[in-house]
Structure 1
Amino acid sequence: MASQHDETTTLGQVSEDATQGGCPVAHGASLPHPASGDANQQWWKNRLNLKILAKEQPVINPHDPDFDYPAAFETLDLAEVKKDIAEVLTTSKDWWPADFGNYGPFMIRMAWHAAGTYRSQDGRGGGGTGQQRFAPLNSWPDNVSLDKARRLLWPVKKKYGQNLSWADLMILTGNVAHEIMGMPTYGFSGGRIDAYEPEDDVYWGPETEWTNGGAERYRGDRELDNPLAAVEMGLIYVNPEGPEGEPDPVKSARDIRETFKRMGMNDEETVALIGGGHTFGKTHGAGTVPEHVGPEPEGAPMEQMGLGWKSSYKSGKGIDTIGSGLEVTWTYHPTRWDNEFFHILYAYEWELFQSPAGANQWRPVNGGGSDMVPEADGSGRREPRMLTSDLALRFDPEYDKIARRFKDDFEAFHDAYSRAWFKLTHRDMGPISRHYGPEVPTEELVWMDPIPAPASVPGDAEVKAVKDAVAAAGLSVPAVVKTVWAAASTYRGSDFRGGANGGRIRLEPQRSWEVNEPAVTGPVIEALEKIAAEQGVSFADTLVLAGNWAIEKAAADGGVPVQVPFTPGRGDSSQEQTDVESFGYLEPKVDGFRNYDPRSNKEFPAEFALVDRANLLGLSAPEMTVLVAGLRVLGANYGDSKDGVWTENVGVLSNDFLQAVTDIDTQWEKVSEGHYKGVTADGKELFGTRNDLVFGSNSELRTVSEVYAADDAKEKFVKDFVKAWTKIMDADRYDVQRKNRK
């Protein structure tokens, strides 16, 4: 949790040598929304960035196209890998000495900070793709010196090569670190697939400076903007000195509770993680920051070979290290697993003082414990110290109850921490089907969104029977499409949550979401539940088959018969297997695919949210285009709005929307914020939103729309819509994705 509080640094700041070369990038400019910006951003501030719909292109991945990382990981002797990691952690190197002779605490911080960027609002962040290797995370002030941790692990990565991803190695090393210091871990799952480019689609906040207090990300009574979780740019969680540096433990507790909640943790998990993490190691603030510490890795000179924060203070390493600017060791035994942190928290009264770098921190009054804590190099002893954010656990009434219980009951603390650590480092991995290796826990935890295996898998006869039953049920194409889209489009590729599998559209909270129009989708759900029971097919499979029936009927009615692919095998989750509060974060507040935008204050254009959701769904720009166009003519708009429904045949799959949006004779005018009226050459009035008009106004999307609006594209449009629809239906089927890669 400790962070670096150095001289304010502007994001994108470069050296004088770099700027003399005439760099075309506008350094220090205001940060754009993740769905806006590219090289032209300096000229058109609201430029739509469609590059986030072209992630993970094969051309940047050095592995073979059919490389199956989970299979490669399972060939490892995990015990041998852990032995090699343990050897690294207990062998101090002169170039970066281990505090207390053990890199374990250092590696726990590395793993924590890799995983701790996760946030529940949009599922982004986390350690699942090894993003700590790239900017901005590799250069965040809170990640100071973690470049050395990863470099220390290179011999292990080098030995196991493609069979062990960096993402898995960082988390596994955190587990090994705990184990060599005496804490049995709850488990470890492999299967994290490395990215080979930074995630430019993550909106980390509006600030253009590191750790500047974070005022820009708050509204009203310290209400943190969505989807943000950390309190300041460049911090993982909270400012350890207190809100905006104010050393007030009670105010700090408020920040901690909000931040950890947004990262998926309740009060008990929060107290366990802070107390457990701070059982080990220390922070570093041996000297002042600005005059002694060099630039972060992304701004460092080339000869430093990717390492940053070079220090000129004395030796610049070991006991002379400058990191966060805080100089705190919490416990008497910084490399031993125990609940000493809580005993020390309550054993003393605390007074505020400043570190050598001038940071606010706390020590026992009257010189208490002055010879109890070892120096990192063994040169002497000093008193225990605490951060403002540590004292919050004692002075917040609810945290205090939990902290006292953990002080008195070590077993309860160990169980809570081991489970919370597993959740911290695995919550972005998705369902248990994505977890690999011999240490995967046998218990399927509720935050994994459990999905039982279906009682039976339908064959061709059962598939036909279900579709025939749907056709006979008197359900309309728009109502079925609305229901199926409401279920499947919850999928988030960021943390692999949501989707049609599990059939949670029939459960709370999803069944009651406003965007899902319960009055429309409720009767469809009831009808499909009845069909599923009668046919002996899971509700989730029945739901997807109903969608296929609707698309096939709509396409046939438009003169383009198709068969929508179907892969059976979905299961049905129960209400007890659904964490209502956690799943609530998946509720769309804005959904351009359904023209749903209830915002009164539209602080960013609607099409930004559309592209953002398309990004979470893993769609390309053409896939987004055909899906929006198809959903409009199929009548899937929220509230049956006429915006963008530019067809005489609602419920028929056609390219009418795209023909209308590219019609050069239609004249458009703005009638209200975000809403427009068009008049065609024959006097017909059309109405649309920014989500509709963007397909004709944006130069890149218009070129895609023109392909599908051409006279010879009617069949291509339908077939490409079917492909994109099927992709969404199968997005949560990791077994299908893996099979297709082989």
Structure 2
Amino acid sequence: MTDRTDTSTHHMEGDLPAGGDRVGGAFGQPPSLEAWYPQRLRVELLHRNGLDADPLGADFDYAAAFATIDLEALKADIKQFLTTSVDWWPSDYGNYGPQMIRMAWHAAGTYRIADGRGGAGTAMQRFAPISSWWDNGNTDKSRRLLQPLKHKYGNALSWADLMVLTGTCALELMGLPTYGFAGGRLDAWEPDDGTWWGPEVWNPHDVKSYDDMVNRDERWRGKNGEQGYDLQSPLAASHQALIYVNPEGPYQSGDPMGSARDIRVTFTRMAMNDEETVALVAGGHAFGKSHGMVAAAKIGAPPEIAPIEQMGLGWHNPQGTGAGKDTMTNGIEGSWTPNPVRWDNTYLENLFRYEWEQTKSPAGSIQWTPTDPDAPKTPDAHVPGQMNPLMMMTSDVAFKVDPEYRKVCEKFLEDFDAFTLAFSKAWYKLTHRDMGPKHRYLGPEATIEDGLLWQDPLPEPEGAPIDEFDVDALKEAVLKTGVSVSDLVFTAYSSASTYRDSDKRGGANGGRLALAPQKDWAVNRRTVPVIEALRGVKADFERDASGGKRISLADLIVLGGCAAVEQAARDAGVPTTVPFTPGRVDTTQELTDVEMFEWLRPIADGFRNFVADDYRQLAPGVAPEQVFLDRANLMTLTAPEWTVLTGGLRVLGANADGSDTGLLTDRVGVLSTDWFVNLTDTDLLWTRTDDTEMTFRARSQSTGEERFTATRADLVFGSNAQLRSAVDAYAGSDGQRRFVADFVRAWDKVMMLDRFDVKGARRYGPMAA
């Protein structure tokens, strides 16, 4: 969410770069607006990651470029690379596979279900802040090792696809039958400086005391083990700068049960259930080792603030060669299995066969060692003939002490084939979860299985398609139902507005507005009778249509909104045609993951002037206009599109509760510029209606007459300078025709956001937000 600003930079030493106070900034740098005005609404976030930052230009077609690659040859090149080693960063056990699995896992593992942000889809691991998180230590080396392959295949292979494919090839090379790979990830070209990753800048190697960290932690509600213990939404990792949880247990406590609770919360926030969680961790820890040979205090700055001569590589290690046997990454040292480059079940076998006691790594981090002196050993990654004790982390022992996780582990211990399949599918989900519908998947291995619930599957279209004459007849039939323009607009917008470009979920396709959970959301109550009326239109059309023509409810909901907008434009004296592209389908309740779709329920939606009753509990200290900006960003709207869409929805009467709050017009249902004109009327004096500062009343200063009421989602367009400048473009005497044309374009964009079936993969991935 774009509701908080954290401008500090974290690295292993726990210090900020020198250079001035918060407002003044570093030497030679101007103070940022965020430093001067930390509560400022950052509207400019809507315009990040655009064409100006892209060296490939608007005409570059990644899907066509990717199709030129021989995937088998690419995979062969990757696998050949994996079994090599270079002096400046030698491979453990002569195999870069485990290191590349970690890189891909950490790239994908930032995904969070609450707002769909994170994930591997844009290779954001290359940029700060993610590139310089403590938990991503030395992933910069993995990407640098891959650079020759990236240059060989050029722009036909994005960094995002290369990173995921390399991790997948590593699994195959070491014996795991993988579930497949789909290309289609589109690289970002600039950092994401807007996503809120948490309220704290946290260095796990700089903890003063357990109680101190617990008491000043703003990320969690309650204390671990107590009722109500949970992460703030939309966060997913247990602490900022981590991918999942602290491997030493909460706040380096060494508490396995506390770690289990953190694991369950964080992996659930990443859309994984208990079985998938165990499969991912147990599967991932079947390979490679952890690195903790050097104290964290000796390690240099992360890539973003490393010395210029290090050329983008960070975490300089001054001990020995700085790599190989001297490597420092997370502070824990050792391997989980006797054969760290082979897929087998020894991770779970050893975890449950032996008792484990707490010890310390050479770097001073908490880890666990078998109490049985006859327990198997693991070969050293770099010293031939040297054997070392096995290692477990506190987060590993958690699976042994938590009753539910233990049941899953025991199932996998008894059935290695089931474990293998579960890990393969969980890895596929982890690395593809943020890609959206399968229409965006590229490559010969893309189609593995239809109907995976996390992919939000859609059935094939039924019946013959409709034509333009059918569209006109259906528009007429919809308007004859007596359903108001306002209700039709509200319903169509409600159907499409769940879309979020972060993970390409939601939208009108599928007609899920008529299914649980969306049909039961408070914000959608107004749509229920409209949908029933549209079902009648659908039944009449299909009864009378020739040639087996069918109209989906999903299409009809959108078409009804388009017909209503056309009617409202005619009433404003500016006749227009609203584009409509048929082809949406109706999915079923069985193909709808109710639990995961519940995360799409808005706690506030400024477009529909809605704020949930429990908003203050769900978003403490966050102004609704910040959530409004976040919603506009997730829909890929520009500031002008955000403005024109809001003004149009207001005069069309699209409030969730059907009230006149914020409509700022006496002609509800007419696509007029009244909202812009009245919002900027200098005669109106706005005052708060109560101490909540959520609603406001306008009084005419010249007559004393009370004119309108409005919310923060209205007044922000008059108070924010950038938004007000857009409002001015429509408030003038020449604004009406421009307004209708721009509203129709913005409306069509929203209705088509999820139509990857007709437009293919979007040119750009999610904007920074």
**Under a length normalisation based on structure 1, what TM-score does the superposition of the two structures give?**
0.94
What's the CA shift for 1:14?
5.0
Matched, 1:202 2:203: no
What's the CA shift for 1:341?
0.6
CA distance in 2, matches of 1:635, 1:322: 60
What's the CA shift for 1:457?
2.5
- After the TM superposition, which of the residue ranges 193-202 and 323-332 deviates more from structure 2? 193-202
- Match among 191, 199, 219 for residue 221 of structure 2: 219
- Match among 232, 245, 267 for residue 238 of structure 1: 245
Deviations 1:472-525 (A, max 9, x none): 2111111111211111000000000000011111111111111112xx211111
Map residues 588-737 of structure 1 onto 2, 5 A cutoff. Answer: 588-598=602-612, 599-600=615-616, 602-672=620-690, 673=692, 674-680=694-700, 681-682=702-703, 683-737=705-759
CA distance in 2, matches of 1:274, 1:657: 54
- Match among 21, 24, 29 for residue 23 of structure 1: 29
What residue is the counterpart of 2:514 in the other structure? 506
CA distance in 1, matches of 2:243, 2:761: 36
CA distance in 2, matches of 1:686, 1:137: 45
What's the CA shift for 1:423?
0.1
The code of the aligned residue for 1:726 comes to D
What's the CA shift for 1:55?
2.3
What residue is the counterpart of 1:31 in the other structure? none
CA distance in 1, matches of 2:232, 2:17: 25
Q: Secondary structure at the match of 1:428?
A: helix
Report % sequence identity: 51
Q: Is the 8 A contact 1:332 1:374 kept in 2?
A: no
What residue is the counterpart of 2:565 in the other structure? 551
- Match among 81, 84, 89 for residue 74 of structure 2: 81
What residue is the counterpart of 1:476 in the other structure? 484
What residue is the counterpart of 2:318 in the other structure? 312
The code of the aligned residue for 1:218 comes to W
Q: Is the 8 A contact 2:99 2:142 kept in 1?
A: yes
CA distance in 1, matches of 2:121, 2:236: 18
CA distance in 1, matches of 2:529, 2:253: 54
- After the TM superposition, which of the residue ranges 370-379 and 308-317 deviates more from structure 2? 370-379
What's the CA shift for 1:633?
1.1
What residue is the counterpart of 2:118 in the other structure? 125
What residue is the counterpart of 1:35 in the other structure? none
Task: Give the length in aligned residue pairs.
Answer: 720
Change (3 A) 1:548 1:371: closer
Change (3 A) 1:688 1:233: same
- After the TM superposition, which of the residue ranges 634-643 and 242-251 deviates more from structure 2? 634-643
Structure 1: give runs of 5+ residues left out of the alignment. 26-38
What residue is the counterpart of 1:582 in the other structure? 596
Change (3 A) 1:93 1:8: closer
Q: Is the 8 A contact 1:15 1:299 kept in 2?
A: no
Q: Is the 8 A contact 2:338 2:377 kept in 1?
A: no
Q: Is the 8 A contact 2:112 2:271 kept in 1?
A: yes
What's the CA shift for 1:19?
7.4
- After the TM superposition, which of the residue ranges 205-214 and 168-177 deviates more from structure 2? 205-214
Q: Is the 8 A contact 1:730 1:736 kept in 2?
A: no
What residue is the counterpart of 2:533 in the other structure? 527
Q: Secondary structure at the match of 2:359?
A: strand
Deviations 1:26-70 (A, max 9, x none): xxxxxxxxxxxxx21222221110111112221111113121101
Q: Is the 8 A contact 1:367 1:383 kept in 2?
A: no
What residue is the counterpart of 2:17 in the other structure? 13
CA distance in 2, matches of 1:216, 1:90: 44
CA distance in 2, matches of 1:511, 1:295: 50
Kindly report structure 1 stretches of 4+ aligned residues shifted beyond 6 Å: 739-742
What's the CA shift for 1:614?
0.2
- Match among 394, 398, 411 for residue 400 of structure 2: 394
Change (3 A) 1:109 1:687: same
Deviations 1:657-704 (A, max 9, x none): 111111111111122222211112442321111111111111111111
Q: Secondary structure at the match of 1:120?
A: coil
CA distance in 2, matches of 1:450, 1:711: 48
Q: Is the 8 A contact 1:555 1:653 kept in 2?
A: yes
Q: Is the 8 A contact 2:338 2:376 kept in 1?
A: no
CA distance in 1, matches of 2:347, 2:124: 31
Map residues 377-392 of structure 1 onto 2, 5 A cutoff. Answer: 377-392=383-398
What's the CA shift for 1:220?
2.5
Q: Secondary structure at the match of 1:306?
A: coil
What residue is the counterpart of 1:32 in the other structure? none
What's the CA shift for 1:639?
1.1
Change (3 A) 1:94 1:46: same
Q: Secondary structure at the match of 1:600?
A: helix
What residue is the counterpart of 2:334 in the other structure? 328
- After the TM superposition, which of the residue ranges 321-330 and 104-113 deviates more from structure 2? 321-330
CA distance in 2, matches of 1:356, 1:413: 33
- After the TM superposition, which of the residue ranges 614-623 and 664-673 deviates more from structure 2? 664-673
CA distance in 2, matches of 1:144, 1:379: 28
- After the TM superposition, which of the residue ranges 566-575 and 275-284 deviates more from structure 2? 566-575
Map residues 84-99 of structure 1 onto 2, 5 A cutoff. Answer: 84-99=77-92
- Match among 264, 272, 275 for residue 279 of structure 2: 272
The code of the aligned residue for 1:147 comes to D
CA distance in 2, matches of 1:579, 1:128: 22
Map residues 331-350 of structure 1 onto 2, 5 A cutoff. Answer: 331-350=337-356
- Match among 250, 254, 265 for residue 257 of structure 2: 250
CA distance in 1, matches of 2:680, 2:710: 13
- After the TM superposition, which of the residue ranges 266-275 and 727-736 deviates more from structure 2? 727-736
Q: Secondary structure at the match of 2:48?
A: coil
The code of the aligned residue for 1:231 comes to S
CA distance in 2, matches of 1:150, 1:375: 21
Deviations 1:551-583 (A, max 9, x none): 111111111111001112111111111111111
- Match among 297, 300, 305 for residue 294 of structure 1: 300
CA distance in 2, matches of 1:629, 1:720: 11
CA distance in 2, matches of 1:89, 1:7: 28
- After the TM superposition, which of the residue ranges 70-79 and 493-502 deviates more from structure 2? 70-79
Q: Secondary structure at the match of 1:576?
A: coil
Higher RCO (CA-CA < 8 Å; seq separation 6+): 2
What's the CA shift for 1:531?
2.2
The code of the aligned residue for 1:52 comes to L
CA distance in 2, matches of 1:262, 1:697: 35
Structure 2: give runs of 5+ residues left out of the alignment. 1-9, 208-212, 224-228, 543-549, 765-769
What's the CA shift for 1:208?
3.3
What residue is the counterpart of 1:465 in the other structure? 473
What's the CA shift for 1:375?
3.9
Q: Is the 8 A contact 1:348 1:368 kept in 2?
A: no
Deviations 1:155-214 (A, max 9, x none): 111011010000000000011000110111101000001110122231101113444658
Q: Is the 8 A contact 2:478 2:560 kept in 1?
A: yes
What residue is the counterpart of 2:39 in the other structure? 46
What's the CA shift for 1:260?
0.2
What's the CA shift for 1:736?
4.1
CA distance in 2, matches of 1:441, 1:394: 36
Change (3 A) 1:199 1:741: closer
What residue is the counterpart of 1:497 in the other structure? 505
CA distance in 2, matches of 1:739, 1:130: 16
Q: Is the 8 A contact 2:18 2:26 kept in 1?
A: no
Q: Is the 8 A contact 1:280 1:337 kept in 2?
A: yes
Q: Secondary structure at the match of 1:577?
A: coil
RMSD: 1.9
What's the CA shift for 1:328?
2.6
